[in-house]
Chain A
Amino acid sequence: MDSSQQSFLARHDFLIRRLHSLSGLIPVGAYMVVHLVTNASVSESSAAFQKNVYSIHSLGSLLPVVEWAFIFLPLLFHAIIGVVIVGGGMPNSNQYRYGPNYRYTLQRATGMIAFVFIMVHVFHMHGWFHADVWLEKVARPFGGAQFYPYNATSSAGMALQSTVTVVLYLVGVLSCVYHLANGIWTMGITWGVWTSPKAQARASKACSAFGILLAALSVAALFGMRSAGQGENLQEAIQAEDRLYEHKIEAGELEPNEHKRSGSDHSEEGKEAAAKSEDK
């Protein structure tokens, strides 16, 4: 076919698909692992997680740049090209019932679930945009922007109290984990890292082990965060967060920033939530 007749996407399909494959591992997959490891630190203590959040926020005004350049834009690229790829496939695992074919179908299903989940998750925790008007008029009234970086454990923990939310997060996070683990395996074939059936079988075992480990980590992170937002744990978390905040202000390590705290009413909210969970 004359190349001038083809669309830009068709002419550069190979490069786009390779970038799609690469972006799934770096930076999107790598970020996800860092994110889950950071979150799982809540299992150690609420202060440990809060300290990790502080070290991420120590990037200061550079943080949004890093977030957009290395997380959101690559993620959106990976997701949008992914939707195009899913649209071009015709899963037939009902007709051809082979293991890799099931994984093919599951890779596409988990990808779509992950896309929806990540959009919901970023809205739920961050509200998508940080403009005050948006946060106050849209995000918070619709249950978004629940996370406050300087009250990291308590605000995240409180946001994960409803059963619906936890089930949504569990399905979403496990979809992400499967998608990454299986994605690494297919990536190795796409780029020609493992070629023979034996090498692919070995890689499959390694990717499965990685996936199981990451799944365990993410479940620990999710339920660790949830229990940190309940009852006494919540009160302890809030106290630890406030101590850390005041200490950092005193030491001059931090500029006061009430936008990143749950605000003057956080302790009341905390008490309400604690009272609720005690009622249960």
Chain B
Amino acid sequence: MQILWLNASEKFSFWRDKRCFAVVLKCGSNALVIFRGSDIIEGMTAHSQKSTKPSSFEVRILRQDAPAKGPRWERHRVTYEPNLNVISVLQKVATLATTSDGKNTTPVAWYCNCLEEVCGACTMLINGRTRQACSALVDKLLEENPEGLELRPMSKFPVVRDLVVDRGRMFRALERVQAWIPVDGYGDRGSGPRESQESQQVRYPLSECMTCGCCVEACPQFAKVELAQRSDETSEQFEDRKAQEYDGAFVGAAAISQAMLFNDHPTGHMNAGERLETLMGPGGIQMCGNAQNCVAVCPKEIPLTTSIARAGRQTTVHLVTQFFDS
């Protein structure tokens, strides 16, 4: 918050675009970046400009004790502090251990990991929008909706407990499209083909995917698949059955984009046909309805719809060549 004064100094200057922010120290003709940040800093500066903030705000959380149990809303009143994110709000809720009407309650379960929007573990629905709790800043959220926050688990994945969901289908989708480059073998096959810089520039943004699931959460074509373990079934059998069920359902934007990432890699290209076969199989790219929500909600701003259209082109070519060549 003490950053704004820097703006006035002649020695310092700001550099910012839509997402990034840096403070640059000018030394003659050279410039030195002394600080770099993202939304979080923007949120801080935004806060310092706004003086009126509530003393407390309400957090509505959709809780669920276990898979297949009925969900229930719980209200919590949290004391306002500047620069909270949704993770710190959940930590405050855990220390309160009471609802807003004073009843004792269990701590809300949630996942978090990196706390800098690169792991995807804390993805949830915040005020109805899918995003990461770590980069969701309360000051901004209260500006949009002064009444408080609403937290729900993602709606397209089975709920494990409260805000924790099982995103296993995302990872199964990566297996389906072989989102890797097979380099293992018995002998040294030498160095692979070279990759052009142009190709690197196209592929790099796709590699930023953290498999958080925002794209499929917002996708109107991606239906939830939730199975319950049968009493006569071992865990392994249940996992197999889940994988089978996932394999017949839509792979989703993230996996399609990963298929493009590895199809474009000079070595990965050697398995391009297999990835395209998966994308042309049940639950493949044909399920896409071009609503383009995926690209709009992607926290990493991955050009998912470009990947989808490119996969459309590759499958078109594959379809025609398969028809005439095999």
Contacts and interface: CB of A to CB of B under 8 A. Distances in A.
Interface of A: 1, 6, 10-11, 13-18, 85, 88-92, 95-96, 98, 100-101, 103-105, 186, 189-197, 200
Interface stretch (B66-74, B103-111, B163-171, B305-313): B305-313
A98 B313 contact: no
B315 A100 contact: no
A1 B283 CA distance: 11
B292 A101 contact: yes
Interface stretch (B11-19, B28-36, B43-51, B217-225): B217-225
A190 B288 contact: yes
Contacts of A101: 220, 291-293, 296
Contacts of A96: 129, 218, 293, 296-297
Interface in B187-210: none
A6 B317 CA distance: 25
Contacts of B129: 95-96
A14 B285 CA distance: 8
B244 A195 contact: no
13 contacts: A1-B244, A14-B315, A16-B286, A85-B289, A90-B223, A95-B128, A98-B293, A100-B293, A189-B309, A190-B290, A192-B317, A193-B313, A197-B303
B280 interface: yes
B95 to A, nearest CB: 32
Given A14-B315, A96-B293, A192 B309 contact: yes
For the residues of B in contact with A, the DSSP-based class is: helix
A104 B313 contact: no
A6 B245 CA distance: 11
Given A91-B220, A105-B220, A197-B305, 11 more contacts: A6-B248, A15-B319, A17-B286, A92-B293, A104-B220, A189-B305, A190-B290, A190-B312, A196-B306, A197-B303, A200-B309
A14 B286 contact: yes
Contacts of A14: 280-281, 284-286, 315, 319
A101 B220 CA distance: 9
A195 B256 CA distance: 14
Contacts of B296: 96, 98, 100-101
Nearest to B303: A197
Contact of A6 (B280, B282, B284): B282
A60 to B, nearest CB: 36
Contacts of A95: 128-129
A192 B308 CA distance: 8
Contacts of B128: 95
A112 to B, nearest CB: 14
Contact of A1 (B247, B309, B311, B314): B247
Given A14-B280, A14-B281, A101-B220, A195 B313 contact: yes
Contacts of B315: 14, 192
A90 B282 CA distance: 19
A202 to B, nearest CB: 13
Contacts of A200: 305, 309
B319 A18 contact: yes
- Top 7 nearest A-B pairs (CB, nearest first) are A192-B313, A104-B291, A100-B292, A192-B312, A17-B286, A195-B309, A186-B290
B59 to A, nearest CB: 20
A89 B221 contact: yes
B91 interface: no
A100 B223 CA distance: 19
B288 A195 contact: no
A192 B290 CA distance: 12
